[in-house]
């Protein structure tokens, strides 16, 4: 199959429960092809199950890669990001609890375990990831973001390549927002569109795309949980009750939207006493999230080295790969990998 007429025929043959085609030829709004890739835009909004049916029918006829774009979604197979590929949000209610730090170190850990990992800086208002990964301004992409905002479906060869650093693919809105300047992206639709572009119009090779999420339950989190194909979420929180209260709000949102929670990382739970080696609790330990049934993936101690290495652009699991923090990340990474393998492509 290569032409639009073939696509129309295949799509028209996929019917809903009452025998009507899910997509009629008149509902096809865009068609693009390059090599063995086909991109199809439609004006209707089928359910994810119906998108899967349509995509499978096209794949059976065509082989290669098929990408369907509806007004609200992009669907490439599996849960949306592609067959066997997963988008995982790293989030927590509060700012400053260590989401970005955990996301960067977890990404490197998963990559060291042999996965192909991407890290998307989803914090539009505080894009810290380039700094944490040591991606200097000179290494950042020069092309303006608006080239990603074109109409229609961008051809694979025209998509922006992510920056590769420390074996991780990464992309940040910070690449195109000068340091110290507030972002111009506001409003739910614009943010939803921007996030979708960052996930689908950047040429990720990653099988696991971690999104470093902003705090709170604002527009970005709303858009992420509603408009992105999240396979799951990793919570980052400190054991403090206040932080967990905020995380609980985010948890409610995830439950409402049907996003599975992989588990939580308790960050800055304790400090190892430099004199006697005993752990010192830094916050009164709250059990709110654990009580809500969220499994604990690991506990990362307060370690000054974590922030020093972040400022040097070398996440600590790389800077000190045999240290206690790296060992804890190995445990967290193994739990995440196990979860990913268990969900596989089940939908
Ligand atoms: P968030 O993304 O949730 O806002 P960050 O990852 O930016 O949080 O972390 C906030 C600050 O705390 C940063 O300066 C970071 O280096 C530091 N930090 C995070 N986790 C730890 C830790 N376990 N030990 C010491 N400092 C940490
Ligand atoms: Mg952050």
Write down the mean pLDDT value for the chain: 87
91 lines ligand 1 (CB under 6 A): no
Q: 196-240, pLDDT tens digit by residue?
A: 989 999 999 999 999 999 888 788 899 899 989 999 999 998 877
Please tell me the distance from the alpha carbon of residue 176 to that of residue 140, in angstroms, as a whole number: 8
Please tell me the distance from the alpha carbon of residue 96 to that of residue 216, in angstroms, as a whole number: 11
100 lines ligand 1 (CB under 6 A): yes
Sheet holding 28-34, edge to edge: 28-34, 37-42, 65-69, 74-75
Cα of 217 from ligand 1 centre, angstroms: 20
Q: What is the pLDDT of residue 148?
A: 47
Structural domain range at position 127: 86-343
Please tell me the distance from the alpha carbon of residue 209 to that of residue 88, in angstroms, as a whole number: 6
Same domain, 162 and 298: yes
Q: What is the pLDDT of residue 95?
A: 84
324 lines ligand 1 (CB under 6 A): no
Please tell me the distance from the alpha carbon of residue 276 to that of residue 267, in angstroms, as a whole number: 21
Residue 17 has pLDDT above 90, yes or no: no
Residue 184 has pLDDT above 80, yes or no: no
CB 124 within 8 Å of CB 191: yes
The CATH number of the domain holding residue 181 is: 3.40.50.300
Cα of 331 from ligand 1 centre, angstroms: 19
Q: 108-162, pLDDT tens digit by residue?
A: 999 999 999 999 998 877 888 888 999 987 787 775 554 444 467 889 998 889 9
Residue 88 has pLDDT above 50, yes or no: yes
Look up residue 174 and give its two tokens: 């910070």
103 lines ligand 1 (CB under 6 A): no
What's the per-residue H, E or C state across 302-340? Answer: ECHHHHHHHHHCCCHHHHCCCCHHHHHHHHHHHHHHHHH
- Tell me how far CA of residue 247 lies from CA of 99, 174, 215, 241, in angstroms: 12, 25, 9, 10
29 belongs to a structural domain? yes
Give the mean pLDDT of 80-107. 93
Q: Which of 52, 75, 98 finishes a domain?
A: 75
**What is the β-pairing status of strands 296-302 and 261-272?**
parallel
- Among 71-80, 148-157, 254-263, 305-314, the range scoring the smallest mean pLDDT is 148-157
**Residue 179: band (very low, low, confident or very high) from pLDDT cuts 50, 70, 90:** low
CB 266 within 8 Å of CB 299: yes
81 belongs to a structural domain? no
Q: Which helix (H) or strand (E) holds 32?
A: strand 28-34
CB 92 within 8 Å of CB 212: no
Question: Which residues partner with 68 through β-bridges?
Answer: 40, 75
Same domain, 44 and 177: no
Same domain, 159 and 285: yes
Q: What is the pLDDT of residue 206?
A: 97
Q: 19-38, pLDDT tens digit by residue?
A: 999 999 999 999 999 999 99
Cα of 92 from ligand 2 centre, angstroms: 10
Same domain, 90 and 69: no
Same domain, 33 and 178: no
What is the residue whose two structure tokens read 């995982």? 88
Give, using CA atoms, the residue closest to atom 16 of ligand 1.
307
What percent of the chain has a predicted confidence (pLDDT) above 90? 56
What percent of the chain has a predicted confidence (pLDDT) above 70? 90
Ligand closest in space to the Cα of 94 = 1
Q: Work out how many domains the chain is built from and give that number.
A: 2
CB 309 within 8 Å of CB 317: no
302 lines ligand 1 (CB under 6 A): yes
Same domain, 55 and 114: no
Residue 178 has pLDDT above 80, yes or no: no
Give, using CA atoms, the residue closest to atom 4 of ligand 1.
96
Q: Where are the beta strands (DSSP E) in 59-125?
A: 65-69, 74-75, 86-91, 117-121
128 lines ligand 1 (CB under 6 A): yes
- Among 79-88, 97-106, 138-147, the range scoring the smallest mean pLDDT is 138-147
**Residue 284: band (very low, low, confident or very high) from pLDDT cuts 50, 70, 90:** low
| Full-model pTM | 0.92
Same domain, 164 and 107: yes
Length of the chain: 347
169 lines ligand 1 (CB under 6 A): no
Helix (H, G, I), strand (E, B) or coil at 347: coil
Ligand closest in space to the Cα of 329 = 1
């Amino acid at each position: 199959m290569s032409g639009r007429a073939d696509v129309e025929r295949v799509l028209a043959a996929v019917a809903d429960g009452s025998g009507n085609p899910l997509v009629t030829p008149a509902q096809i709004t865009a068609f693009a092809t390059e090599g063995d890739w086909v991109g199809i835009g439609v004006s209707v909004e089928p359910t994810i199950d119906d998108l899967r049916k349509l995509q499978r029918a096209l794949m059976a006829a065509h082989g290669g890669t098929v990408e369907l774009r509806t007004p609200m979604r992009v669907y490439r197979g599996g849960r949306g990001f592609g067959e066997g590929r997963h988008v995982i949000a790293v989030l927590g209610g509060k700012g400053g609890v260590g989401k970005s730090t955990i996301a960067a170190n977890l990404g490197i850990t998963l990559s060291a375990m042999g996965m192909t990992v991407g890290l998307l800086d989803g914090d539009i208002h505080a894009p810290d990831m380039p700094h944490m990964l040591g991606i200097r301004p000179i290494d950042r992409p020069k092309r303006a973001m608006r080239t990603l905002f074109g109409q229609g479906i961008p051809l694979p060869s025209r998509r922006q390549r992510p920056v590769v650093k420390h074996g991780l693919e990464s992309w940040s809105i910070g690449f195109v927002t000068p340091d110290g300047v507030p972002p111009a992206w506001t409003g739910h639709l614009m943010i939803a569109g921007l996030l979708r572009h960052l996930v689908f119009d950047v040429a990720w090779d990653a099988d696991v795309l971690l999104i470093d999420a902003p705090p709170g339950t604002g527009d970005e989190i709303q858009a992420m949980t509603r408009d992105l194909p999240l396979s799951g979420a990793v919570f980052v929180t400190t054991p403090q009750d206040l932080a967990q209260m905020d995380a609980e709000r985010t948890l409610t949102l995830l439950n409402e939207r049907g996003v599975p929670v992989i588990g939580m990382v308790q960050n800055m739970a304790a400090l190892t006493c430099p004199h006697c080696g005993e752990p010192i609790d830094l916050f009164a330990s709250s059990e709110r999230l654990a009580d809500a049934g969220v499994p604990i993936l690991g506990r990362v101690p307060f370690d000054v080295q974590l922030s020093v290495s972040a400022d040097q652009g070398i996440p600590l699991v790389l800077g000190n790969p045999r240290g206690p923090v790296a060992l804890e990340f190995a445990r967290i990474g193994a739990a995440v990998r196990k979860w990913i393998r268990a969900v596989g492509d089940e939908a």
